[in-house]
Structure 1
């Protein structure tokens, strides 16, 4: 079975964070999508197996999720 090597999801801006998390992990099973509230302080390390899904206080994706 061949998997997509998709690394950015601009079409998910405006979607629910939970929906975005499922879509990302289905489209690229090599990554772990992590929902992060906008304004949170995180490490600046780059990881090719992680996608941060930035959401606002309502749980809506506010920037294009991408690998990193």
Structure 2
């Protein structure tokens, strides 16, 4: 279960790393994928909603760090 979730979240992050500053549309698309991955991993809906809200707020307009 955790391996599948880790793979999906890693894929989302890989897509975001290819960008410079994040636009709202980039963040919304990524958060949609994260939401689905978390729900499919049986994470509680209130936890998913809180996480997505907080992550979206922090991500819009942020510069992407490349490793």
> Which structure has the highest helix share of the two?
2
Q: Provide TM-score, normalisation by structure 1.
A: 0.36
Larger Rg: 2
> Which structure has the highest strand share of the two?
1
Q: Which has the higher contact order (CA 8 A, sep 6+)?
A: 2
